[in-house]
Amino acid sequence: YSTSNLSKCFMEWKPSRVGERFFNKGKAVSENVRVRFATYESLWQQTKEEIEALQDNLNKKMFGSLLSFIKNSHSDLQSKSKSWSYQMRCSEIPTAALVLGVNVPDHEMTFQKLSDLLQESLTPYVVCLQGKDFTAVKQVLQTVLVHLIGRRVYDDEDEEDVFSVDFSQKKIFCSMASLCGWYRAETQKPTFSSPGKKRKSSSPQYEQSPPVVIIFKDLESFLPKVLQDFLVICSNYIQQLPLILIFGIATSSVALHRMLPQSVSSLLCIELFQSLSCTEHLAAVIDKLILTTKFPFKLSGKVLRVLTSIFLYHDFSVRNFIKGFQLSLLEHFYSQPLSLLCCALNEANARVQDLTHDDCELIRQVPSFMRYVESQDPEKQVELLTKDHYLKDTVRKLLNDLHVYHENYLPVLKCLHILTTSLPKYPLGKQIRDLHSTCLEKEVWETEDYSSAFQLFGMMAKDELVSLLTRCLDVLKSSEQDNLEDSVQKLEELLTRFQNLDKEATTTQKSLQRKTNLYQLQKAETMLILAVQRCTFFHLFLIIVYFCFFCRDYLLPPETQPLHEVTYFSAASTLRRHLNAAPRNALQTALNNPYYYLQNEILKSETGTIPNTAPDICIVYKLHLECGRLINLYDWLQAFAMVVNAAEGNDPDTQVGKPVDKILHARFIRAVSELEFLGFVKPTKRKTDHVARLTWGGC
């Protein structure tokens, strides 16, 4: 069935031709679709590389400290010292407690990168464990041995494996002693690169006795008894096996001591490592992806608020935020035909020249371009609406103006953020993303928060104000925009005059020292103070007014820019529908109206009717809506058989009194079981041949 559901696009994503076909809604792939699809892939690849580089840079310090800890612990374990402190050290297992935060979906990516780093530089023996996979310590030992040794293992309870013969691969007993024996045999080899693999010239070279690192990805999800038993077993073999543990903690280090009693925690030599907070991580991602002119694709204010609200109120996952950004990028290039111009400025100008007449007509129908045409003279309006070559020249000019708008917008936004974040209660938001969302949605200078912010701005101490203005000047100078040069010069002049007020007051005060009359001297000093205050207030007023007009010039909402639809994705409702799914509503919609999802014409039906061509579960669901608290299974089956027989062309009246076909009976049982699984009905003890209805109301 043809469908516009984006989930199908993700299912058909890998083959590029299928993706192009989906962009064109099943029709023959046009040039516009091919270019849009290629542009999407190119932009997402650039975005992905930028994100990976950013994440590597953010985790670099933490990973460096962690690798240093593992190397030092390993060298201590391999030391031949016989001192008392070393003997105490040998009885403890080196353990790194890695506090990653509550953003659990991001942990998998962190541990994968950590595992790769360990295998690249330190040891090939790295095992990652998840708590949901283990209910007994035996399973933990089996997983560790199988992962490291690469062979099948057995224990005393597995009689079938004990007495079975496997000549192709030798089995070993599931115990820590077996692991120690294998490790001694493995490390006594002259050279090796990685276990279970043929040595290659490009393989990393390790020390003769590399450590065995076991990573517990989610410590809180492990059963305390299983974890305690495993740690006690490991402590008995720490002098034979260079074992190092890494605990991934989502909450705090208190969770570790809560799970382990003192008798077990005393067996560990724990060092705490703290990762970057998820909010700081998100701020860095937004700065790289959204608050930049490197990527032409932009998010509207409502879309950005949807993504940040999901982050703040659901999972704190930066990984899911990036997936939402990718979905926005995909939906923009899928739904907007003019997104083929969402690329670098020089490339966009080249594509404008190749626009077809149909593409030009699409541009003429864009709301922002229609408003632009209405603001022009009648002669230009006629040329824009009738001449394609004149339209293309105008589009190139408008795209260049849009690029200049973005170049000027970002430094001014950062300046306003610098000024307002030093104010109490953060009237325009503590994070720059909040201020950015406000500026995208409305004219920020018309808001009450903006007025209150500049009222507080006028009561700042002079030194603090000068410091903030200096930082703003540095931001504006670093942007290197020609359009901002005049503004920077004016701001520098105001700031210089504001700073020189103290010098002028000092010079005037020195001139007053020639007066000998005490009354005249006091009067002159009073007049001087009032003059300095008036002058200070006047210059401060000039700076505030200047910044107000500065914001009005460069912080206009993107809706004021012609052809902003080319680069901005604003379908917040579509994004919310895909990311904030409502399972109950979707389930009832699918059961009541299967055409909504399957898009099959034969499934269309009038409201309140039961189409006999619908899936079995839809028929059973609609029939159960007509029943009361208890549903008689036999009557339910008979009604289902009548509907299905009508679909197969049989006369329902001739089927009355006849036994129901076995296949039809099995279909009914399966449909009722599915409804029970979904929570619509349940068995009841009041009547053996009845089920109880659990929901009320229709769709």
| Per-residue pLDDT reduced to its tens digit, 500-512 | 765 544 554 455 4
In terms of domains, do 251 and 299 share one? no
> Which phi and psi angles does 26 have, rounded to 5°?
85, -10
546, 581, 616 - which closes a domain? 581
Residues 205-232: what's their mean pLDDT? 88
- pLDDT band (50, 70, 90) for residue 483: confident
Residue 652 has pLDDT above 70, yes or no: no
The total number of structural domains in the chain stands at 3
Query: Worst-scoring range by mean pLDDT, 347-361, 394-408, 447-461?
Result: 447-461
pLDDT score, position 404: 92
pLDDT score, position 699: 41
- 38 vs 657, higher pLDDT: 38
Q: How far apart are the first and last CA of the chain?
A: 24
pLDDT score, position 249: 93
In terms of domains, do 606 and 655 share one? yes
Residues 194, 203 contacting (CB under 8 angstroms): yes
For residue 232, is it within any domain?
yes
Instruction: Indicate the helix (H) or strand (E) that contains 298.
Output: strand 298-299
Residues 556-578: what's their mean pLDDT? 93
Residue 173 has pLDDT above 90, yes or no: no
Residues 127-149: what's their mean pLDDT? 89
Query: Worst-scoring range by mean pLDDT, 526-530, 568-572, 589-593?
Result: 526-530
pLDDT digits (tens, 9 = 90+) for 68-109: 999 888 776 666 444 434 444 557 899 999 999 888 888 988
Tell me the CATH number at 242.
3.40.50
Residue 384 has pLDDT above 60, yes or no: yes
> Which phi and psi angles does 559 have, rounded to 5°?
-65, -20
In terms of domains, do 577 and 589 share one? no
For residue 698, is it within any domain?
no
Query: Worst-scoring range by mean pLDDT, 448-462, 505-519, 598-612?
Result: 505-519
Residues 682-688: what's their mean pLDDT? 86
Strands (E), 118-226: 126-129, 153-154, 172-173, 212-216
Residue 442 has pLDDT above 80, yes or no: yes
Query: Which among 289, 287, 239 has a CA at the least distance from the CA of 82?
Result: 239
- pLDDT band (50, 70, 90) for residue 161: very low
- pLDDT band (50, 70, 90) for residue 163: very low
- pLDDT band (50, 70, 90) for residue 239: confident
Residues 426-453: what's their mean pLDDT? 90
Residue 150 has pLDDT above 90, yes or no: no
Residues 156, 243 contacting (CB under 8 angstroms): no
User: Mean pLDDT across the chain, nearest whole number?
Assistant: 81
276, 293, 315 - which closes a domain? 276
pLDDT score, position 4: 38
pLDDT score, position 494: 75
pLDDT score, position 241: 87
In 210-337, which ranges are continuous DSSP H helix?
224-235, 254-259, 262-265, 278-289, 301-310, 318-335
The two three-digit tokens of residue 345, written as one number: 């400025």
Residue 116 has pLDDT above 70, yes or no: yes
Residue 546 has pLDDT above 50, yes or no: yes
In terms of domains, do 218 and 330 share one? no
Query: Worst-scoring range by mean pLDDT, 22-26, 111-115, 221-225, 361-365?
Result: 22-26
For residue 422, is it within any domain?
yes
Query: Which among 126, 104, 136, 369 has a CA at the least distance from the CA of 233?
Result: 136
Residue 27 has pLDDT above 70, yes or no: no
For residue 492, is it within any domain?
no
Residues 587-602: what's their mean pLDDT? 85
Q: Which domain holds residue 67?
A: 59-149+209-276
The Cα–Cα gap between 36 and 174 comes to 56
In terms of domains, do 428 and 576 share one? yes
Residue 450 has pLDDT above 80, yes or no: yes
pLDDT score, position 10: 35
Q: Is 94 helix (H, G, I), strand (E, B) or coil?
A: strand
For residue 365, is it within any domain?
yes
In terms of domains, do 564 and 620 share one? no
Query: Torsion over CA of 356, 359, 361 and 365, rounded to 10 degrees?
Result: -170
pLDDT score, position 605: 73
Query: Worst-scoring range by mean pLDDT, 42-56, 442-456, 653-667?
Result: 653-667
- Enumerate long-range contacts of 446-454, CB under 8 Å, 24 or more apart: 452/427, 453/419, 453/420, 453/423, 453/427, 453/428, 454/544, 454/547, 454/548
pLDDT digits (tens, 9 = 90+) for 340-366: 999 999 999 999 999 999 999 999 999
- pLDDT band (50, 70, 90) for residue 685: confident
Query: Worst-scoring range by mean pLDDT, 6-20, 120-134, 223-237, 474-488?
Result: 6-20
Query: Which among 517, 338, 352, 484 has a CA at the least distance from the CA of 411?
Result: 484
440-478 residues labelled b (16+ CB within 10 A) or e (exposed)? bbeebbebebbeebbebbeebeeeebeebbeebeebbee
Residue 388 has pLDDT above 80, yes or no: yes
In terms of domains, do 218 and 130 share one? yes
For residue 288, is it within any domain?
yes
Q: Which residue type occupies 305?
A: R
In terms of domains, do 375 and 253 share one? no
Determine what percent of the chain is predicted with pLDDT higher than 90: 40
The Cα–Cα gap between 446 and 556 comes to 11
Residues 133-150: what's their mean pLDDT? 88
For residue 244, is it within any domain?
yes
In terms of domains, do 678 and 575 share one? no
Residue 669 has pLDDT above 90, yes or no: yes
In terms of domains, do 567 and 435 share one? yes
In terms of domains, do 244 and 135 share one? yes
221, 251, 276 - which closes a domain? 276
Query: Worst-scoring range by mean pLDDT, 377-391, 408-422, 533-547?
Result: 533-547
> In angstroms, what CA-CA distances link 352 with 329, 408, 540?
21, 24, 47
pLDDT score, position 389: 92
Residue 380 has pLDDT above 60, yes or no: yes
pLDDT score, position 300: 94
For residue 142, is it within any domain?
yes
The Cα–Cα gap between 211 and 214 comes to 10
- Enumerate long-range contacts of 671-679, CB under 8 Å, 24 or more apart: 671/616, 671/617, 671/619, 671/620, 671/640, 672/620, 672/633, 672/636, 674/617, 675/617, 675/620, 675/621, 675/624, 678/587
The Cα–Cα gap between 69 and 65 comes to 6
pLDDT score, position 328: 94
Residues 671-681: what's their mean pLDDT? 92
Residues 153, 172 contacting (CB under 8 angstroms): yes
In terms of domains, do 310 and 430 share one? yes
- pLDDT band (50, 70, 90) for residue 306: very high
pLDDT score, position 460: 77
- pLDDT band (50, 70, 90) for residue 11: very low
Q: Which residue type occupies 574?
A: T
pLDDT digits (tens, 9 = 90+) for 274-300: 988 899 999 999 999 999 999 999 999
Q: Is 424 helix (H, G, I), strand (E, B) or coil?
A: coil
Residues 449, 428 contacting (CB under 8 angstroms): yes
